[in-house]
A and B are shown apart, each in its own frame.
Chain A
Amino acid sequence: MPKWFTPAAALCGALFAFSPILIAGAPYESTMGLVQKIFYYHMPSAWMFLLSAIVCGVASARYLAGGHARHDRMAWSAAELTVLFGLVTLVTGPLWARRAWGTWWVWDPRVTSSFVGWMIAVAYLILRRYGGPGSEKLAAGVALFGTANVPFIYISVNYWRTIHPATSVVPTLPVSMGFPLWYCVAMFLLLYVLLLTLRMHVEEQRARLDALYLALDDRS
């Protein structure tokens, strides 16, 4: 584990502990009222979901081109985090929508494309788990297609009328709401980096264990 991990984890915990106070202090949004406060966790986790999918695609492409096990470990870890943050996004979204749109689920472009992206990440994990030996390369291929697919899914479903707010609202937020939002984005980004480091460390330990088993076999 790198040296900065423990202090950074402590900082992340402190940020998370303080965030409810900051969010509670932010003003109410005029039309949606209290339920809009889900936003402060929903949007940062959605951004981490996208970031993680991109990290997974890039790491897979580099693994296919170069064949370094490090990139493969990074792709696997990023795929797991894609599923985690995607789950958070896809569950907090409907909780908000229930009040704001009056329904749990809407087949809106943004919702549909996030859902399909999440399904691809789950399929990747299923392949890694049950594909047997040699599935790293197959999984890298799937991840590459999954990442290339995201713009297409978005375009295909974009011709339905959307009711999801656009990302362009973010810069226009007043400071009283903008500050807690950017605070949460920074907090989630730190959490993402920490979780990715931790998850990759697990894979490094697994590789080390495999190497030890091989060494033990050689001895006996």
Chain B
Amino acid sequence: MSRFTRAAWLILRKDLTVEVRSREIAYTTVFFAVSCLLVFAFALVREGRAPADGAAGILWIAVAFSGTLALGRTFERERQSETLRALLLAPAPRPAVYVGKLAGIMALLGATECVIVPLVSLLFQVHLLAHPLWLAGILFTGTLGFAAVGTLFAAMLVRARSRDVLLPVLLYPVTVPVIIAGVRGTSALLQPQADAAIVGFWLALLVCFDTVFVTLALWTFEPVMTD
């Protein structure tokens, strides 16, 4: 294992160990995502039925909102005990720190999605699980794009004032294209005859987005996190 992957793996393992012991962020994130679904049900359901095209949007907004919460909490934990500074002082390449953190956030959001996807298809009566592979692809690439930007911004904001407010303010306008592509791809899957060309197009767009944003984040993480 190269030095880079080893450092990233150690950081991921550290985050997972802390999380498995306290389960604080996982529980709050999942519960918050479920409350989002509840709020949308009150806003959108009429006469016992949800609007036909609403489920994809509801799923992605729940992911984006709970993702912001998870990002904020993860880095707040690092800030409180000054461990982020220690991580940055460690003799590991900076991009490896970023990759480790990103993998931790992805694991957390993946767990959240495992809970809310069945819930959305149950509560809003849609066949989300009819094409599990396509759905997994869209969810993974979309979450990766969102988390790639989110991890960088949350890490940058650790030292800033009023970081709790600034994270969503900065994150949502920048990640709008991921949310659009995710919603469009998912709602194409929910059509009675899902068109592979349409879904594939949005998936390709998400992959391009991920490539550009992960590359940019790896490049900017080092200068931005240097004092």
A residues near B, CB below 8 A?
64-65, 67, 116, 119-120, 123, 126-127, 130-132, 134-135, 137-138, 140-142, 144-146, 148-149, 152-153, 155-157, 159
> Could you say which of B159, B173, B223 contacts A134, with CB atoms under 8 Å apart?
B159
The stretch that binds A, out of B52-60, B72-80, B89-97, B174-182, is B174-182
Cα A132 to Cα B165 with chains together (Å):
13
Q: How far is the CA of A159 from the CA of B170 in the complex (A)?
A: 26
The verdict on B107 contacting chain A, using a C-beta distance below 8 Å, is: no
**B residues near A141, Cβ cutoff 8 Å:** 152-153, 156, 220, 224
Interchain CB contact under 8 A, A156 and B180: yes
B residues engaging A (CB < 8 A)?
149, 152-153, 156-157, 159-162, 165-166, 169-170, 173-174, 176-177, 180-181, 184, 205, 208-209, 212-213, 216, 220, 223-224, 227
B191 to chain A, nearest CB (A): 15
Q: Max chain A CB contacts within 10 Å: which of B166, B173, B227?
A: B173
Q: Name the contact of B173 in the complex, choosing from A119, A132, A152, A156 (C-beta under 8 A).
A: A119
By a CB distance below 8 angstroms, the chain A residues around B162 are 130-132
A116 contacts B224, C-beta separation under 8 Å: no
**Cα distance, A156 to B205, chains bound together (Å):** 8
Nearest CB in chain B: distance from A32 CB, A: 30
Chain B residues near A127: list those with CB within 8 A.
Answer: 160, 166, 169-170
Beta-carbon contact of A144 and B216 below 8 Å? yes
A64 to B218: give the CA distance in the assembly, Å: 13
In the complex, are the beta carbons of B224 and A138 less than 8 A apart? yes
Q: Which residues on the B side are within 8 Å of A134 (C-beta)? A: 159-160, 227
Q: Establish whether residues B166 and A155, one from each chain, have CB atoms under 8 Å apart when the complex forms.
A: no
Measured CB to CB, the closest approach of chain A to B116, in angstroms, equals 23
User: Can you name 12 A-B pairs with beta carbons within 8 Å?
Assistant: A64-B223, A67-B223, A127-B169, A131-B161, A131-B166, A135-B160, A138-B156, A141-B156, A141-B220, A141-B224, A152-B208, A153-B176
Distance (Å) between the CB of A126 and the closest chain B CB? 6
Q: Given A141-B220, A144-B216, is A149 in contact with B174 using a C-beta cutoff of 8 Å?
A: yes
The 10 closest A-B pairs by CB, nearest first: A132-B161, A119-B173, A152-B177, A156-B180, A138-B156, A131-B160, A156-B177, A64-B223, A120-B173, A141-B220
B214 to chain A, nearest CB (A): 12
Nearest-neighbour CB distance to chain B for A145, whole angstroms, equals: 5
Say whether, besides A144-B220, A152-B209, A138 and B160 are in contact (CB < 8 Å).
yes
Residues in A neighbouring B170, C-beta threshold 8 A: 123, 127, 142
State how many angstroms separate the Cβ of A76 from the closest Cβ of chain B: 16
Contact check, B169 vs A123: say whether CB atoms are below 8 A apart: yes
Residues of A close to B208: CB separation below 8 A = 152
Which chain A residues border B213 with CB–CB below 8 Å?
145, 148
Bound Cα distance A127, B173 (Å) = 13
- CB <8 Å contact, B161 and A65: no
Closest-CB distance, B224 to chain A (whole angstroms): 5
**Alpha-carbon separation in the docked complex, A135 to B149 (Å):** 17
Contacts of A157 in B (CB 8 A): 180
CB-defined contacts of A152 to chain B, threshold 8 Å: 177, 205, 208-209, 212
Question: In the docked arrangement, what's the CA distance between A116 and B177, Å?
Answer: 10
The residue of chain B having its C-beta at the shortest distance from the C-beta of A145 within the complex is B174
